[in-house]
Amino acid sequence: MEKVRFALAAIALAALAVAGACGNDGVHDGGAAGATEAGTTTLRLGYFPNVTHAPAVVGVEKGIFADALGDDELEVKTFNAGPSAVEALFAGAIDATFIGPNPAINAFVTSKGKAIRIVAGATSGGASLVVKPDVTSAKALKGKKLASPQLGGTQDVALRHWLSENGLKTDPQGGGDVSILPQENAQTLETFVSGEVAGAWVPEPWATRLVQEGGGKVLVDEATLWPGGRFVTTHLIVRTEFLEEHPDTVRRLVAGTVDAVAFTNTQPDEAKRLTNEGIARIAGKALEAEVIEAAWERLTFTTDPIASSLKVSAAHAKQVGLLDDADLDGIYALDTLNQILTERGEKEVQAP
């Protein structure tokens, strides 16, 4: 995959700066997107080393995105959670990213509807609140510490909203009836094992790892909180400016996403292997076979961004004090996706 350049992005929550590592082909990461030579375009794509991002990981590892882009070049960056990816996007360090719903909402609202558009779905499901075995209810969490991947991220909002629905207050500073500590998922496994936190609302494979390696139990499978168990966990967003300047490149990226989702669904064993290889390359260690098998069962891979769940996620973020009134009109740009699906004889997805 000579056309793909890898970089690991580490971004502080309060800073709009990106520290990138060198790519695996020895090319230094950096520079603005746009024309490179002979009219080609470099697309800088973000994603997370999580099983919830399996279509993205498969798309990179299998070379699906690189093939779909043709003469255009692909440069990839990885993140721990959505707010960091949004900061990279605002800083002009990436052009598109796979991400959860709440950071996408925040990006759209913060920019007054200008910065990003959702162009495709990727994953539904795959997030849970895992707790110590002696925690049997929400009430038992009062006075305890819980973890989430990052303040304002999708799982962070889900956790705060669920606690609120159960009469427990939180605040962004870590106070309230339950103290929420935003931390990287790998650190959460350590703090859960040590007893520093009593639980965490995390995406897969981390929920499964907290159970299998940390001796925890699932108190809340988020799928049980949504109609039909369907809610957007991961979708694909693009900088509006990039979409307007390079619509053909975005079309190729969306087509690659359709291919990656189809491959993940039709060849699950190979997709699991590729996902695990990608996680190992990024995180330095592969998942145990039983972890990825269990995590996979909690996920549905689909190009449908499940738009109906986005408005609810925005309402949840407002309720817990992490978002003001949100007008989401215009956040979706699904015409390209639907054109591709129609050309392939598949059902179009619905936007609100």
**Which residues neighbour 55 within 8 Å (Cβ) at sequence distance 6 or greater?**
98, 122, 123, 234, 257, 260, 261, 264, 301
Nearest to 92 by CA among 11, 182, 6, 156: 11
Q: Is the dihedral of CA 221, 222, 225, 230 positive or negative?
A: negative
300 pLDDT above the threshold of 50: yes
Peptide bond into 205 cis (omega under 30): yes
Q: Which amino acid is at 69?
A: L
- Tell me what pLDDT residue 153 has: 86
Phi then psi dihedrals of residue 235, to 5 deg: -140, 175
| pLDDT band at residue 1 under the 50/70/90 scheme | very low
Q: Which two tokens stand for residue 348?
A: 């179009």
Q: Cβ neighbours of residue 27 under 8 Å, at least 6 residues apart?
A: 5
pLDDT at residue 20, as a whole number:
32
pLDDT score at 26: 26
Statement: residue 29 has pLDDT above 80:
no
Residue for token pair 């849970």: 128
**Predicted structure pTM score:** 0.84
| Residue 229 zone, left/alpha/beta (φ > 0; ψ -120 to 50; rest) | left
Residue 319 has pLDDT above 80, yes or no: yes
Phi–psi pair at 262, nearest 5 degrees: -65, -40
Phi, psi of 95 (to 5 degrees): -110, -25
Residue 38 pLDDT level (bands cut at 50, 70, 90): low
> 49 by DSSP, 3-state: which?
coil
For 208, counting Cβ atoms within 10 Å of its Cβ (0-12 exposed, 13-18 middle, 19+ buried), the class is: buried
Share of the chain above pLDDT 70, in %: 89
pLDDT per position as a tens digit, 50-108: 899 999 999 999 999 999 999 999 999 999 888 899 999 999 999 999 999 989 999 99
- Strand pairing report for 232-239 and 145-148: unpaired
Q: Residue 30: what pLDDT?
A: 37
Q: What is the pLDDT of residue 25?
A: 30
- pLDDT, residue 17, reads 34
User: What is the reported pLDDT for 156?
Assistant: 94
Per-residue model confidence (pLDDT) at position 218: 97
Report pLDDT digits (tens) over 184-229: 999 999 999 999 999 999 999 999 999 999 999 999 999 999 999 9
